[in-house]
Structure 1
């Protein structure tokens, strides 16, 4: 049986490394550094982000158990106007962070992660008004074949 994307990546430690690497890349980007350097950012932002990505990619339910539903994620990140270039830059930082974090160098695995992140950015951008986000959306689930 094929491992989940979470297992193939290397588990929770791999996602923590990925979130830290992604955060560093976003902070170094002249356009992304502003939203990533907000003074009200949660002190465990990168760990929570790692748990979110891990759970979406078939890892344990640490994020939903501790932080809430997909609704909270969309409300927090939505409603920021035209972010198309920021979305592209965010995906580019994510893809580069996969290398930085030392995740497996497997074309199919990396294509699945990139496809997930492109979908996730589009999902955030689709919610222009936080008030329009449905309540208690479950976390999406993504596998080797895409959104389930």
Structure 2
């Protein structure tokens, strides 16, 4: 008898290829959006691939982003001084959710709940790191989301 295992969020999403399609289409939309395009002006053409690797790691797909890009400290550092507004954050999350529909990511409630929970959490972290008083960027691991659980975040103590 074959043992059943629960797929990772990444596997359920369709793997790295599905996330690369998502980020490629998404950042194409971002660059056409009057509110978001200025935030991403001068964006490296490889940015969508890097974000797909990040999402793959977040959703249980190994450590390729950490090994190739520097993990959480690198991601957090990319937001420093950007002064992202709440309006930009909301547009980013809405556009990403719409793009997930457009590219055909799974639409079942369990997947979308975990996916959107991370997008909401991650975009708020980006907002925090982009502000005037960001927390220290430490060597924290990339947060890994799974079914029915999320990693806790605790602000740095002063």
TM-score for the superposition, normalised by structure 1: 0.89
Counterpart Cα distance in 1 of 2:34 and 2:115: 24
* Change beyond 3 A, Cα 1:64–1:82: closer
Counterpart Cα distance in 2 of 1:82 and 1:101: 26
| Alignment partner, residue 118 of structure 1 | 120
Deviation at 1:17, TM superposition (A): 0.6
CA contact (8 A) 1:19 1:47 kept: yes
CA contact (8 A) 2:9 2:111 kept: yes
| Alignment partner, residue 29 of structure 2 | 25
Note the residue ranges of structure 1 that are not aligned, 5 or more in a row.
none
| Alignment partner, residue 57 of structure 1 | 59
Counterpart Cα distance in 1 of 2:50 and 2:120: 20
* Structure having the larger proportion of residues in helix: 1
What SS class does the counterpart of residue 33 from structure 1 fall into?
Answer: coil
| Alignment partner, residue 82 of structure 2 | 80
Note the residue ranges of structure 2 that are not aligned, 5 or more in a row.
152-158
CA contact (8 A) 2:39 2:82 kept: no
| Alignment partner, residue 92 of structure 1 | 94
Show CA shifts across 1:113-134 (max 9, x none).
1110000011112222587423
When Rg is computed on C-alpha atoms for both structures, the one with the higher figure is 2
CA RMSD of aligned residues (A): 1.7
Deviation at 1:102, TM superposition (A): 1.4
| Alignment partner, residue 11 of structure 1 | 15
Alignment coverage as a number of residue pairs? 146
Show CA shifts across 1:87-144 (max 9, x none).
0000001101111221112122112111100000111122225874232221111112
Deviation at 1:75, TM superposition (A): 1.4
| Alignment partner, residue 35 of structure 1 | 39
